[in-house]
Structure 1
Amino acid sequence: MHIHQQFYEDYHIGDSRTSLGRTITETDIVLHAGQTGDFFPHHMDAEWCQTQPFGKRIAHGTLIFSVAIGQTATQINPEAFSKGYDRLRFIKPVFIGDTIHTKVTITEAAQDKKPGYGKIVEHVEVFNQHNILVMVCDHILLARQKTITSNS
């Protein structure tokens, strides 16, 4: 991880980056269940899951969200901060042994209500090892505008 100073004006619609892959393990699921208290059988009961259409345990959506966003956290930008996430959708289940990677694309850049800042929207797409889309969301961040000095 490194520091990368990027102001509002440095973001360009269409720019994208893709993370490395990360395999989801049974340990990930068990730890996430313990952290969140979500012990639903969809995640924890292999025998019950065999009676369901998906056939095997699935990772928590919140686990996939957490891992995916962590995959995008490769640099520290002191000029921007996260405002949150919109339009989060779990498209397909992620199973133990699946490897996910995350693609982030700048889809929006506009002046913000907060003076001196611009709003950036990063569209986040998460794919499994078969390049099937499993999760999407929009990350909203505010980036400081470059200071323009005047000669007056």
Structure 2
Amino acid sequence: MDEKACYFEDYQLGDSRTTGAKTITEADIVIHAGQTGDFFPHHIDAEFCKNTEFGQRIAHGTLTFSVGVGLTASFINPVAFSYGYDHLRFIKPVFIGDTIHTVVTISDKKDHKKRANMGIVTEHLEVLNQKGETVMVADHLLMCQKRDA
């Protein structure tokens, strides 16, 4: 991982990057169910799912979120940290065998209201499957140090 500092001023609106990809497996779903306690049948009961609108098991939304966000962690920025997520939506289901990746686009920048030495950068995340279909969107708020702070 690259540990180059990326200050508030370095982020440019419209800049984007595409992450690597990960195929969602049955093991991912089972492990996620065990970690979270979410054993909802839509995720783990193949027989139950045969009679749902999707006809098969679907990945937890929180699993899609975790993997989609995790794929964005490509470098350590020592002058920034995650401030949270807004506008999270699960657009389409993710199935066992789907391969997802994330497109990150800088969609907003603003000064922090209480900390003059910091700014908030909004990274719009769009998680797509192997068919190019959007399966999840969210806005990641990144608190960044200003260069001259």
Shorter-chain TM-score tier: over 0.9
**1:137 corresponds to which letter in structure 2?**
A
> How far, CA to CA, are the matches of 1:72 and 1:20 in structure 2?
8
Summarize deviations over 1:55-98 as a string: whole Å, max 9, x none.
Answer: 00000000010001110000000111110000100000000000
Give every structure 1 segment of 4 or more consecutive aligned residues whose post-TM-superposition deviation is greater than 4 Å.
Answer: none
Matched, 1:29 2:29: yes
Unaligned segments of structure 1, at least 5 residues:
none
Partner of 2:11: 11
Unaligned segments of structure 2, at least 5 residues:
none
Partner of 1:120: 121
- Alignment RMSD, CA only? 0.8
- How many equivalent residue pairs? 148
> How far, CA to CA, are the matches of 1:54 and 1:4 in structure 2?
44
Q: How does 1:1-150 map to 2 (within 5 A)?
A: 1-113=1-113, 114-147=115-148
Summarize deviations over 1:11-34 as a string: whole Å, max 9, x none.
Answer: 000000101111000000000000
Q: Identical aligned pairs, as a percentage?
A: 59
